[in-house]
Structure 1
Amino acid sequence: MTMKHNGAKKLSQMSNFYSTFDQINGVHPWMEAVKDGFVAYRVRQLNTGKIAYFNFALAKEMGLIPADHSDQMNDELAEKLIETFSLQIINEYDELTNRRIDPETIRPHKYMATRYLQLQHANKQGKTSGDGRGIWNGTVYNRGITWDVSSRGTGVTCLAPGAVSAQKPLKTGGTEFGYGCGLAEMDELLAASILAEVMHLQGIRTERMLCVIDLGKGYGIGVRAAHNLVRPAHLFLYLKQERYDSLKAATDYLIDRQVANKAWDIKAKGAAKYDELLDAVCKSFAEFTALLDIDYIFAWLDWDGDNVLADAGIIDYGSIRQFGIRHDKYKYDDVERFSTNLNEQKQKARLIVQVFAQMVDYLKTKQKKPLRDFARHPMVLKFNSQFVEFRAQRLLYRMGFNEKQRANILEKKDLFEKFDREFSFFERAKVSGSEEKVADGVNHPALYNMRHLLKAYPHFLSESPLPFEKRWMLEKDFFKTVLSSFAKSRDARMGEKQRLHIESFQKLYRDLVVTAAGKQKPDTILKGICERAEKLNSDKRITGNALIEMVDEIITEKKRGLPLEQIQKIVDRLVFDHNGMPEIPVGRFYKEKEFTGAVKMDLFAKLLSLVEENKESI
């Protein structure tokens, strides 16, 4: 057998080894279910680019690579990823100008850019909006779960805000009109790769980045995956347009997918299933928003249901920030309008549930009633009570209490409410002065760092030699521990008001520990609380500012010759440090994972120093 024949045989075998990627070919069930819910585009293979990041754990979970595949990129896998995902649409501008395209590079199936509601468009009914620079690559089915796969940075569509405002087809890569380029920058793709996986490891529903392809000149393609990438906005546009049949088709599709994936337990048939849908949505959004509130995660929610998944999960990391402390006055400046802030996320989530209530009523009656008629809908009121319950659970979880201990505490509702008032006094306090400009918006910084206190205080109780009831942290030590780096000189003076709250906080915190312990002695549970609180309030938390500076540093080093495999290892290492959060089921590919990749230590040390410098920032 000749050497040439041997090489061809090996290439064929490797191609078959990664043949699972062939199912990702542009075909998606949404195209059949909601026939007017997308714009179809011919797509061409770019046959260029390099793999900057590949999520091996996610790929194994999706069944795209074998479970025992090494977490190392090889030439054959890289080639398959480029073949599958290095794509660009042939858009209206290309068609009008008769752009010369090699027919052999054109994929056999058209890919869809989906339509959905977006408030940033002048038309508030979703007639012009949707995926402006992305396409849906298709679905992957593995072990009873269907995954959606989509890409951003694949060319400007007619649904892009820039194309709509220009009132003409735009050329991909053009910068004349805002939100009209159609490309994605490498810094945003790498930032999303890190933060999405960190969120996943914290037990937050989210899209995840499967792959990042570096196309050169600062641009790339980001491939994301989730069990369901449908947003509320995919349904709401048909509600606003009063297109009953399309709304029913889209809603039925959502229900069927969620039930098939065992995400929602909806058993009813006919119109009754929409009531169960509403109940599932209410619970999901109450839990999600409570988690964002306690974990200081900024996500730009609004009634259009654009920047969120239909099952209440994170999508589009361009508008996601993880704060170090409660900067609940921060607002992002999007030129034409400011975003919501952390405090307003609850009311916006409730408004999304209210729109769902309006939608369900329309589906059942075929008559669209005004949104205000649903302000006191039972499910909207249920959202309020469920938010309170989930928020209490999440706060106690973040403090380090386990499930049984939380149950013991919440049996004494009055005790928790008293503690929560004291906690909120510190958590929501602001530095003296007023709102100030920051790089991308406005903020009024938080005065106290409660994450630091939640980590330090159980250690103090655990290490004190005194009887439990006599363990009091000195007021000056407590105040020093809790004071944030944003405090001005006048803020750093402790007054009588602060002393009273410090005393009350300590008393109530100890009461929580006694109650959590039940029939045990408090000291028997302090060690576990310390360990959990240490992990859940770690200084390795990556804030929004830290992430921006870290990715800038990585991109700068890349320009100086940093190999792409180092970017992969650094992203993996940063993500892996967030593995092992209490009570978070992350799947066996993280449980079995051991980080062994050698990172460029001087660069990694620099990145960790940026995390430390920004640990209290937005």
Structure 2
Amino acid sequence: MTMKHSGARKLRELANFYSSFDQLNGVHPWMDAVKEGYVSYRVRALETGKVAYFNFILAKEMGLIPADHPHQMTEELEKKLIETFSIQIINEYDEISQRRIDPKTIRPHRYMATRYLQLQHANKQGKTSGDGRGIWNGTAYYRGTTWDVSSRGTGVTCLAPGAVAAARPLKTGGTEFGYGCGLAEIDELFGASILAEIMHLQGINTERVLCIIDLGKGYGIGVRAAKNLIRPAHLFLYLKQERYDLLKGATDYLIDRQVDNRVWDITTKTTARYDEMLHYISDSFADFTAKLDIDYIFAWLDWDGDNVLADAGIIDYGSVRQFGIRHDKYRYDDVERFSTNLNEQRAKARLIVQVFAQMVDYLKTKKKKSLRSFAQHPAVIAFDKKFTQKRSERLLYRMGFNEAQRENILASGDLFHKFDKEFSFFERAKISGSVEKVADGVNHAALYNMRNIMKDLPRFLATGTAAFEDRKMEESVFFKTILSGFAKARDARMGEKQRRHIENFQNLYKQMVKAAAGKQKPDTIIKGLAERSEKLNTTKRITGNALIEMVDELISAKKKGLPMEQIQKIIDRLVFDNAGMPEALTSRYYREINSTPAVKMDLYAKLLSLVEENKESI
């Protein structure tokens, strides 16, 4: 067979394989499980747009493209992506105005916009809220795992806050009412594609961006995917409304999906399965919230369970930020209210578990008791204990200690507790002054950068020539290392109090290294510890402010003619730079990466300079 014929056959095979996208046709099992859990819409193909980004690795994990598919867009693949995802709902406004729509563009199946609880709606029972600008494309099944796929920017639904405020159907693209446009801005989608994948590579449970369709004029469609996109809010509205049958159907659906995907091991079919679910919920939210706390990740948690996945993970990146240092006084300004802050996320996660406990009791007794009566429920108490444990483990992980070393430290009496007090003294300190306005909210900046010392101290100890016990970083060097760029002149003076805490910090740190080493000498592990901490506390960490400025730079370059192919490669390279984090579970497709995409270096260097400039910001 000639090479020409071989190449043609390969293209035909690829085109045929792209038929896996055909399962994303609007049909979703939630429609059968919860008959009133959604609003259905006819959908039309836009037959326009360009693929601005495609997550090849995620698509391989989902079985949507072959495992050996080149990391390159083909004409056939782009055509299939446009056909599958460049769609818009025919909403109530379109129906009433009898908008002319070519019947050939209308899809055979209706797509759903799901109902769920949202605090920004006046109705606190979820009767008017849910997917305001998004629809669910369906599910993809591959190798025993089911994936949910949904799109945002596909038109304004009757569940949008703007549509509810207007008390009438809204035209897609209108801007008269806040949260009533129905479209998604392309900068928001680019930001989510980068940050979501970076979260995934750090071992944080999250939605991920599968594809971005650029529709032009600054708008696009963002396609998200996860093994389960159900939020607690999808269930909580039926608890608030005391609609038992719908709540049972929604809860059973959640459990069955988690069991089928081998995430939860629940075999009983009795009401005891709800108690088992509650155990998993409590455990996963404790682990998730501990990671957010230690990793300085702001995700707007609240009791409605809206901005979080039911299996404890990030969804909706519009208000998610990765801080450079512990800016735990930052609050996002959402016009009508301020968000929670980093310190409050634990209490809000605890409250979500508490609502789950109330919900499980209702499912078992058919009588709804007050939320207050579940404040000391065993699942809530278990959450507190698990959070403390997971937070300790995560901090030690961030410092570079491996699993066995962490176990040794935590088994050494109150050693970690003593160290944690010293660590927190520095980590939670704020610059002089008070809360100040920032671009999208308020903040009182952190005084110290503890990520620096987590990286630099083990490296210093690894290069010392004196006996391990006698190695000591000069207090002035230590203080200069941790002082953040936000410090004012009076904050930059080291007093006796700071000297004392620095001495205690170093002594306790060395004790932890000795405990971690067990029967070995500290010098046998300190080099490996330094290497791990260097990776885990990289200066290439992309903060929220850095991401905003980077995306602005990308869009500016795009307007000047930067090809879509380059945008794809730049996003991929930014993401790949975060691969290989210790102990983070990722697919083999990430482990098999052996080269970085060739990017426009002057632009990429500019993006990296923005990362550097914003490395300590919110």
**Alpha-carbon displacement from aligned partner over 1:18-65 (angstroms, at most 9, x marks no partner):** 111111100000000000000000000001000000000000000000
Asked if 1:381 is matched to 2:415, the reply is no
1:94 matched residue in structure 2: 94
Asked if 1:332 is matched to 2:332, the reply is yes
Asked if 1:393 is matched to 2:393, the reply is yes
Local SS of the residue matching 1:18: helix
Local SS of the residue matching 2:419: helix
How far apart in 2 are the matches of 1:9 and 1:92? 46
How far apart in 1 are the matches of 2:593 and 2:138? 28
Q: Is the 8 A contact 1:475 1:502 kept in 2?
A: yes
How far apart in 2 are the matches of 1:533 and 1:29? 44
For residue 12 of structure 1, report the CA deviation from its aligned partner: 6.7
For residue 266 of structure 1, report the CA deviation from its aligned partner: 1.6
**Alpha-carbon displacement from aligned partner over 1:159-214 (angstroms, at most 9, x marks no partner):** 00000000000000000000000000000000000000000000110000000000
2:453 matched residue in structure 1: 453
Q: Is the 8 A contact 2:187 2:555 kept in 1?
A: yes
1:265 matched residue in structure 2: 265
Structure 1 residues 150, 505: closer, same or farther in 2, change over 3 A? same
Asked if 1:599 is matched to 2:599, the reply is yes
1:491 matched residue in structure 2: 491
For residue 585 of structure 1, report the CA deviation from its aligned partner: 1.6
1:358 matched residue in structure 2: 358
What pairs with 1:142-161 in structure 2 (closer than 5 Å)? Answer: 142-161=142-161
How far apart in 2 are the matches of 1:598 and 1:273? 51
1:367 matched residue in structure 2: 367
How far apart in 1 are the matches of 2:548 and 2:189? 11
**Alpha-carbon displacement from aligned partner over 1:72-94 (angstroms, at most 9, x marks no partner):** 00111000000000000000000
For residue 268 of structure 1, report the CA deviation from its aligned partner: 2.5
Asked if 1:77 is matched to 2:77, the reply is yes
1:280 matched residue in structure 2: 280
Asked if 1:418 is matched to 2:418, the reply is yes
What pairs with 1:434-513 in structure 2 (closer than 5 Å)? Answer: 434-513=434-513
Structure 1 residues 13, 589: closer, same or farther in 2, change over 3 A? closer
Q: Is the 8 A contact 2:44 2:107 kept in 1?
A: yes
Structure 1 residues 82, 526: closer, same or farther in 2, change over 3 A? same
**Alpha-carbon displacement from aligned partner over 1:132-182 (angstroms, at most 9, x marks no partner):** 000000000001100000000000000000000000000000000000000
Q: Is the 8 A contact 2:50 2:215 kept in 1?
A: yes
Local SS of the residue matching 2:394: helix
For residue 14 of structure 1, report the CA deviation from its aligned partner: 5.1
For residue 472 of structure 1, report the CA deviation from its aligned partner: 1.0
Q: Is the 8 A contact 1:194 1:575 kept in 2?
A: yes
How far apart in 2 are the matches of 1:230 and 1:427? 35
Local SS of the residue matching 1:491: helix
1:247 matched residue in structure 2: 247
What pairs with 1:10-29 in structure 2 (closer than 5 Å)? Answer: 15-29=15-29
Alignment-mate amino acid for residue 485 of structure 1: G
How far apart in 2 are the matches of 1:34 and 1:270? 20
How far apart in 2 are the matches of 1:569 and 1:275? 46
1:585 matched residue in structure 2: 585
How far apart in 2 are the matches of 1:110 and 1:412? 59
Q: Is the 8 A contact 1:576 1:595 kept in 2?
A: no
Q: Is the 8 A contact 1:302 1:349 kept in 2?
A: yes
Q: Is the 8 A contact 2:464 2:471 kept in 1?
A: yes
2:616 matched residue in structure 1: 616
2:44 matched residue in structure 1: 44
How far apart in 1 are the matches of 2:93 and 2:127? 20
How far apart in 1 are the matches of 2:108 and 2:465? 73
**Alpha-carbon displacement from aligned partner over 1:444-503 (angstroms, at most 9, x marks no partner):** 000000001100000110111111111111110110011000000000001111011001
How far apart in 1 are the matches of 2:602 and 2:192? 23
How far apart in 2 are the matches of 1:15 and 1:42? 27
1:128 matched residue in structure 2: 128
How far apart in 2 are the matches of 1:455 and 1:596? 25
Alignment-mate amino acid for residue 36 of structure 2: D
How far apart in 1 are the matches of 2:596 and 2:277? 44
Alignment-mate amino acid for residue 288 of structure 2: F
Q: Alignment RMSD, CA only?
A: 1.3
How far apart in 2 are the matches of 1:380 and 1:8? 60
Alignment-mate amino acid for residue 377 of structure 2: H
Query: TM-score of the superposition, structure 2-length normalised?
Result: 0.98
Alignment-mate amino acid for residue 187 of structure 1: D
**Alpha-carbon displacement from aligned partner over 1:284-342 (angstroms, at most 9, x marks no partner):** 00000000000000000000000000000000000100000000000000010000000
For residue 225 of structure 1, report the CA deviation from its aligned partner: 0.3
2:299 matched residue in structure 1: 299
1:182 matched residue in structure 2: 182
Local SS of the residue matching 2:492: coil
For residue 265 of structure 1, report the CA deviation from its aligned partner: 1.4
Q: Is the 8 A contact 2:146 2:261 kept in 1?
A: yes
1:4 matched residue in structure 2: none
Asked if 1:572 is matched to 2:572, the reply is yes
Runs of 4+ in 1 over 6 A off after TM superposition: 7-12
How many residues were matched structurally?
Answer: 613
Alignment-mate amino acid for residue 34 of structure 1: V
Q: Is the 8 A contact 1:268 1:276 kept in 2?
A: no
Alignment-mate amino acid for residue 469 of structure 2: E
Moved more, 10-19 or 184-193: 10-19
How far apart in 1 are the matches of 2:10 and 2:456? 58
For residue 15 of structure 1, report the CA deviation from its aligned partner: 3.7
2:3 matched residue in structure 1: none
2:227 matched residue in structure 1: 227
How far apart in 2 are the matches of 1:11 and 1:345? 49
Q: Is the 8 A contact 2:330 2:441 kept in 1?
A: yes
Local SS of the residue matching 2:181: coil
Q: Is the 8 A contact 1:211 1:223 kept in 2?
A: yes
Q: Is the 8 A contact 1:300 1:319 kept in 2?
A: yes
Local SS of the residue matching 1:193: helix
How far apart in 2 are the matches of 1:594 and 1:204? 24
What pairs with 1:311-350 in structure 2 (closer than 5 Å)? Answer: 311-350=311-350
1:168 matched residue in structure 2: 168
Moved more, 159-168 or 406-415: 406-415
1:103 matched residue in structure 2: 103
**Alpha-carbon displacement from aligned partner over 1:210-239 (angstroms, at most 9, x marks no partner):** 000000000000000000000000000000
2:406 matched residue in structure 1: 406
Q: Is the 8 A contact 1:573 1:595 kept in 2?
A: no
How far apart in 2 are the matches of 1:135 and 1:615? 36
Structure 1 residues 407, 11: closer, same or farther in 2, change over 3 A? closer
Q: Which runs of 5+ in 2 are unaligned?
A: 1-6
For residue 8 of structure 1, report the CA deviation from its aligned partner: 12
For residue 594 of structure 1, report the CA deviation from its aligned partner: 2.6
2:4 matched residue in structure 1: none
Q: Is the 8 A contact 2:323 2:544 kept in 1?
A: yes
Q: Is the 8 A contact 2:576 2:596 kept in 1?
A: no
